[in-house]
Structure 1
């Protein structure tokens, strides 16, 4: 039997990257996927890819994960179409990097809204339905929420992702009496369309990050999604409040020579 057979999965940010990978993988595991993204045409293409593979998906309208009315409509569409919600994968986010002394406050606020408010809004509005289904929440943190960086100026990103990890633990505490589990997956460096435009760009110091990752490579969206799938599924039925780091061991080691002696 497929791991998510018949479960209704809300997944935000399904236009590309980790969100598209999650939608495809969750659908392949039997989930009824309700996707959403401001990049609506790309989100519809994700829906078409799922359909061609024999899965079931719905992308009703453009989703602004930072707008309460938009998120409410997204949740209501899922319930109307499939009768409830079993899984919330709050994946959507956007970031503007900058140092604390030079980044405009507007960029700091934008990042917190896109990366933190989007998670709270989705959990807040899906909560009554997750109570009924004894559902599962998966959020997306980051190694940026665990450690500082000498290579990337990212005060807003670090603050928002650290807050997502903390919020997830509180969701686990508040959800436990209702059988709701909440866990976080925290990626390290992942090769996506977005990261290729900044952190993995030719002129960025982190371009050579793979040299310092113990497993010797940059992660893929599917590395993250496999972890999220586990946390969302009944295989993790006794796991809640956990932050699962998916970074090839990057955050576990001190900086040092990329090729140590045998």
Structure 2
């Protein structure tokens, strides 16, 4: 038996990076994985990777979780098909970057929509199902929630990820009576297809790794390993916490 045997895990952003890794790792631990992504092609590629190992990626794509109706439909379809929801892993996000004095209102609102609003929508609709199973909500924040960056342009992202940490704490308070746990993860810079552009620019890479004690970017599997632990019964006394996975960036 795996650590998540027969648990139904809803994972957002399964089209790549940490979401793809989470789908694979959670399935290997016995979970029924329901995914979604805005990118149908990449989500299908994740489904094919799971199928090669004998697993199924349920759910569908494209799904825009920033649309409350699409978020509700995705959550309720998962509950109807599988009869329960044990884990909600809010991994998906999208942001736009610009110095604060140059950022457009549209780009600010895009970032808040796709890094904060979508967590509310999925959580709101999954709540009653998580209460039935005494489940867990795992929200992905960032070290941007905890400190500024020398790289200009992350004001909207930092505001959004700070909101994720605070939102998670309140979920833990409100969920305690029903047995719902809520935890957030704050990764530092992680090497994914989405960050390849930054990785391939020596100047940007150096700036992003400035202050990282381990002097390298993180890997998706290093973040997902913590999420997997938190979703398991081994972490049953952990709620309301934000767990930093940053190679020592915030230690200084």
TM-score range relative to shorter protein: over 0.9
1:79 correspondence with 2:44: no
CA distance in 1 between partners of 2:76 and 2:122 (Å): 12
For 1:231, the equivalent position in structure 2 comes to 230
Stretches of structure 1 lacking an aligned partner (at least 5 in a row):
254-262
CA distance in 2 between partners of 1:79 and 1:232 (Å): 18
Question: Judging changes above 3 Å, is the alpha-carbon distance between structure 1 residues 193 and 151 closer, same or farther for their aligned structure 2 residues?
Answer: same
2:11–2:36 contact (8 Å) kept in structure 1: yes
CA distance in 1 between partners of 2:84 and 2:217 (Å): 37
Stretches of structure 2 lacking an aligned partner (at least 5 in a row):
none
2:150–2:207 contact (8 Å) kept in structure 1: no
1:101 correspondence with 2:101: yes
CA deviation map 1:189-234 (0-9, x unaligned): 100111122x334165344544632122110111110111111111
- Normalising by structure 2, what TM-score? 0.96
CA distance in 2 between partners of 1:232 and 1:63 (Å): 24
Deviation at 1:114, TM superposition (A): 0.3
For 2:121, the equivalent position in structure 1 comes to 121
* Count of equivalent residues: 252
CA distance in 2 between partners of 1:246 and 1:25 (Å): 18
Question: Judging changes above 3 Å, is the alpha-carbon distance between structure 1 residues 63 and 162 closer, same or farther for their aligned structure 2 residues?
Answer: same
CA distance in 2 between partners of 1:157 and 1:204 (Å): 21
Q: Secondary structure at the match of 1:172?
A: helix
CA distance in 1 between partners of 2:124 and 2:143 (Å): 25
Deviation at 1:118, TM superposition (A): 1.0
1:30–1:55 contact (8 Å) kept in structure 2: no
CA distance in 2 between partners of 1:152 and 1:23 (Å): 33
Deviation at 1:36, TM superposition (A): 0.1
CA deviation map 1:141-173 (0-9, x unaligned): 000010011223211000000000000000000
For 1:220, the equivalent position in structure 2 comes to 219
Deviation at 1:54, TM superposition (A): 2.0
2:98–2:153 contact (8 Å) kept in structure 1: yes
2:63–2:70 contact (8 Å) kept in structure 1: yes
Q: CA RMSD in A?
A: 1.3
CA distance in 1 between partners of 2:140 and 2:128 (Å): 21
